[in-house]
Amino acid sequence: MSTKRKIHIPSDAEDKALTLAARADADNPPLTARELARMRPAREILPRLVGDKMALVMLQPRCRRA
């Protein structure tokens, strides 16, 4: 049995329906171009928020057990 994930790529109609549903969600509006431009990687921001030592801990990859 394959453990490889199967990825479903939506058809154009499915994609359109998903996009319309997402835009209609008032609790989760799409990000604006201005908001996207302000985003920064966690590795840049975390040290200022939680300190260098804690940022290193938080940015370490976690072990994944099979």
55 assigned to some structural domain = yes
Count H helices and E strands in the chain, helices first. Answer: 4, 0
Question: Which bin fits 28, alpha (ψ -120 to 50), beta or left (φ > 0)?
Answer: beta
Structural domain span for residue 24: 12-59
| Distance from C-alpha of 60 to C-alpha of 46, rounded to nearest angstrom | 12
46 assigned to some structural domain = yes
| Distance from C-alpha of 59 to C-alpha of 51, rounded to nearest angstrom | 12
Number of domains in the chain: 1
22 assigned to some structural domain = yes
7 assigned to some structural domain = no
Look up residue 56 and give its two tokens: 């290193």
65 assigned to some structural domain = no
Q: Output the CA torsion sign for 45, 36, 22, 16.
A: negative
Residue 66, pLDDT score: 59
Q: Confidence class of residue 62 from pLDDT cuts 50, 70 and 90?
A: confident
Residue 65, pLDDT score: 64
**60: three-class secondary structure by DSSP:** coil
Predicted structure pTM score: 0.51
3 assigned to some structural domain = no
pLDDT tens digits for 17-56? 999 998 899 998 888 999 999 999 999 999 999 999 999 9
